[in-house]
Chain A
Amino acid sequence: MSGSPTYVPKSALGRWFESRLPIMGLVHSSFVAFPVPRNLNYLWTFGAILAFMLGAQIVTGIILAMHYVPSATLAFASVEHIMRDVNYGWLIRYLHTNGASMFFLAVYIHMFRGIYYGSYKAPREVLWILGVIIYLLMMATAFMGYVLPWGSMSFAGATVITNLFTAIPLVGTGVAHWLWGGYAVGDPTLNRFFSLHYLLPFMIVGVVILHVWALHVAGQNNPDGVEVQNVERDTVAFTPYATIKDLFGVSIFLILYAWFVFYIPTYLLDADNSVPANPLVTPAHIVPEWYLLPFYAILRAIPNKLVGVVALAAAIILLAFLPWLDTSKVKSGKYRPAFRIFFWLFVVCCVGLGYLGSQEVSDTTTWIARILAIGYFGFLVVALPVLGLIERTKPLPASIADAVLAKTKPAEAAAPPASR
Chain B
Amino acid sequence: MSSAAIEKPNRRDFLYIATAAVGAVGVGGVVWPLIDQMNPDASTLALSSIEVDLAPIAEGQIVTVKWRGGPVFVRHRTKKEIDDAVNTPLAGLRDPQTDQARVKKPEWLIVSGVCTHLGCVPLGHEGQYDGWKCPCHGSVYDTSGRIRQGPAPLNLPVPEYAFLSETRVKIG
Contacts and interface: CB of A to CB of B under 8 A. Distances in A.
Interface of A: 156, 159-160, 162-164, 166, 177-186, 188, 192, 279-286, 299-300, 302-306, 308, 361
B70 A184 contact: yes
Contacts of B69: 182-186, 279
B135 interface: yes
Interface residues of B, number: 31
Contacts of A283: 135
Given A303-B151, A305-B117, A188 B41 contact: yes
Main secondary structure of the interface of B (DSSP, over half): loop
Interface of B: 35, 38-41, 44, 64, 66, 68-71, 113-114, 116-123, 134-138, 150-153
Contacts of B35: 178
Given A184-B69, A280-B64, A280-B66, A160 B41 contact: no
Contact of A192 (B38, B40, B118, B119): B38
13 contacts: A159-B118, A164-B118, A178-B35, A181-B39, A181-B40, A182-B69, A183-B69, A188-B40, A280-B113, A281-B121, A282-B122, A305-B118, A308-B151
Contact of B118 (A160, A184, A284, A302): A160
A279 B150 contact: no
Contact of B68 (A159, A160, A183, A192): A183
A247 B141 CA distance: 56
Contacts of A285: 135
B151 A280 contact: no
B152 A159 contact: no
A182 B64 contact: no
A279 B71 contact: yes
Contacts of B66: 279-280
B121 to A, nearest CB: 4
B126 to A, nearest CB: 10
Contacts of B151: 300, 302-305, 308
Contact of B70 (A162, A183, A284, A361): A183
Contact of A282 (B39, B116, B135, B138): B135
Nearest to B37: A181
